[in-house]
Structure 1
Amino acid sequence: MTNRSYYAALGGHPPQTDLLTGRAVFTEAYAVIPKGVMRDIVTSLLPFWDKTHAWVIARPLSGFAETFSQYIMEVAPGGGSDRPEPDPEAEGVLFVVDGAMTLTLSGQRHEMKTGGYAFIPPGTNWTLTNETSEPVKFHWVRKAFEKVEGIGMPEAFVTSDDAVKPVAMPGTDGKWATTRFADPSDIRHDMHVNIVTFEPGAIIPFAETHVMEHGLYVLEGKAVYRLNNDWVEVEAGDFMWLRSFCPQACYAGGPGRFRYLLYKDVNRHMRLRNPLLR
C-alpha cells in the first residue's frame, strides 16, 4: 500500500508579529478559506463527540453552500462518538487525512488509516473511535439525501485512495484524472466526493460552468485556480466553495502534483419550489 500524505497541519495560533493581510475571499460566486485561518480559535465542539473538535468549512447558508456541510474533524486518543450523526436523513462521507480510526458500520468494524474513505447512507447505525495513541484527522461531508420513489438507497462502503484507480480525463494523456469512489452511473447516489489529480503543467482548458455546487479541499500541491473572474493561488490546506454555475478553471504549475477532495451534488431534478414556503 502506498504511503500517501495529505495536508493536516491545522490549529495553533499566529503570533502578534504576523501581518493581518491574508488570502481569504468571500464572494457571492465563490469563497476561499486558506489554511492559515483554520486556527484553534475557530473550532467547534459537537454534541455526543468526546475529545473532538471540528473546523466547519462549509454549511448551508444563504449566499454560501446550499446542499452540503463539510467538517475537518480532529479526534484525540480515546475520543470519538457512539451517536455521531443527529440527522436521520443525512448521508455522509469520511476521508482520513492523518492518523487512524475505527469505524463501526451496522456492527462491522473497519480500521481506517490515512487515505481511508467511507460512504454512510442515511439511517445507518455507526460509531467512530480513535483507539490509537495519536490524534486522527478526517473530513466529514454531510448532505440531506434526496429520496426518489422507485430508486433504492445506496449501500455503505469503505475503501481507500490507494484501492481505487484514477480515471484519466479524455485527451489529457493521464495528466488530469479523477478518483471516483462511487460508480458515476449509479443513479442512487445524489452526491459524489472524489479526488481530482493534476500532474505539473496540467490544466482545465476551459471555464467550466455547470449546475453542480462544489467544495474543494486541497490535499496536496499548489495551483492557480480561476474562480468567476479572478485567478486565485491555492495550496495544500486551502478550501474553495464554488456556487452553481460559477465559471472555473485551473492551471497546475507544479513542482509536484496538485490534488483536491471534490464534493458535488448529482443525479437529481432541480427543486422548483422553496419547501419553506409551502
Structure 2
Amino acid sequence: MTIHLPVEEDTMMTTTTASPYYTPAGGLPPQTDLLTDRAVVTEAYTVIPRGVLRDIVTSVFPEWTDTRAWVINSPVPGGAQTFSQAIVEVAPGGGSQAPEPQPEVEGFLFVTAGSLTVTVAGEEHVLSEGGFGYLPAGTAWSAHNRGDALTSFHWIRKRYQPIAGHTPAPKFGNERDIEPSPMPGTDGAWSTTRMLDPQDLAYDMHVNVVTFKPGGSIPFAETHVMEHGLYVLEGKAVYRLNGDWVEVQEGDYMSLRAFCPQACYAGGPSNFRYLLYKDVNRQITL
C-alpha cells in the first residue's frame, strides 16, 4: 500500500493544474486553524465542504491496491438512500481486477485527474479528465492507473432495478465530446451535459454535468422524488436547500434526499459546474 503523505498547507486541497475538474489532495490543516467550517447535516440535505476531505477520513477498499477513497455518500437513515458515492484516488500502478463486490450493483465512473484504464470483456478504455464509464450490474470489469501520476475519479454505485425488455450495455466517453443541452428559455445560461440517454428506460439513474454561466440560476425551488448527489467541479454559487441559503464552491459536495426543495444562483467569475446523480425511470415500489 502506497502511503500518501500530507502536503504543505499552501498547496493543500488544490489541483496541480488549472483543471476544470476540482480534485481533493488530502493533507491536514495546521494546528492554528479554526475548526469552524461549512459542513451541514440535516434530515433534508448534507453539505460536505472540500476542507473536510482530509487524510484521516479516507478508506481503503478491499480488492484495490495503492488506493484510498473518500466516501461522500452512503445510504443512512434520514439521508439519501438510493446510492453510494466515493472519490477514489489511485497511485501509479494501483487498481483492481475485481472492483465491484455486489453483482446486482451498477456503477458509474467519472475521472477528474490523471487517467484510468477500465477493461470490460477484454477491451481497454482509457479515461482521462472528463472521461466516464457506465458499468451495468453483473459486468466483470477491472480498473488500473497505468500512468505516472495520481488518478482520481468519482465512483457512483446503485442497486440496479431491472425491467423486462430493457438491458443496459457498458458505455464509455468523455463529457467534453457531448454537446450540452441548454435549458429552455435560459439563453444558454443553464445547460446540461447528459452522459446517459435520458429517454432510455434501460437506465435507472442519470449522471450529468450541469453548467451555469455567471449569474445563471435555477429560478424556482425544485421539489421532486429524485435524490441527488452534487459534486462541484468548478466555480461557486449560493444554493437554496429546504429554506436555507448555503454557499458552495469547487470541491464541495451536496447530498439531497427526495423532495428536498433546491435552487441556486451561480456566483461567478467563472462558470459554476457540478457532477449530478439522480435516480430515474422506475415506478415507485409500495
Q: What's the TM-score bracket when you normalise by the shorter of the two chains?
A: over 0.9
Aligned to 1:125: 140
Answering whether residue 48 of structure 2 is matched by residue 33 of structure 1, we say: yes
Answering whether residue 136 of structure 2 is matched by residue 143 of structure 1, we say: no
What TM-score, normalized to structure 2? 0.93
Counterparts of 1:1-278 in structure 2 under 5 Å? 5-148=20-163, 150-272=164-286
CA drift of 1:65 comes to: 1.9
CA distance in 2 between partners of 1:191 and 1:238 (Å): 22
Q: Is the 8 A contact 1:192 1:266 kept in 2?
A: yes
Q: Is the 8 A contact 1:99 1:114 kept in 2?
A: yes
| 3-state DSSP of counterpart to 1:194 | strand
CA drift of 1:163 comes to: 1.1
CA distance in 2 between partners of 1:262 and 1:43 (Å): 22
Displaced runs of 4 or more, over 2 A: none
CA distance in 2 between partners of 1:211 and 1:65 (Å): 11
| 3-state DSSP of counterpart to 1:122 | coil
- Aligned residue identity for 2:119: T
CA distance in 1 between partners of 2:67 and 2:19 (Å): 24
CA distance in 2 between partners of 1:95 and 1:138 (Å): 5
Q: Is the 8 A contact 1:10 1:35 kept in 2?
A: no
Deviations 1:231-257 (A, max 9, x none): 100000000011111100000021110
Deviations 1:34-70 (A, max 9, x none): 0000001000011010000000000111111200000
- Aligned residue identity for 1:199: K
| 3-state DSSP of counterpart to 2:148 | coil
Count of matched residue positions in the alignment of Structure 1 and Structure 2 = 269
Q: Percent identity?
A: 61
CA distance in 1 between partners of 2:20 and 2:274 (Å): 12
Q: Is the 8 A contact 1:100 1:132 kept in 2?
A: yes
Q: Is the 8 A contact 1:57 1:71 kept in 2?
A: yes
What TM-score, normalized to structure 1? 0.95
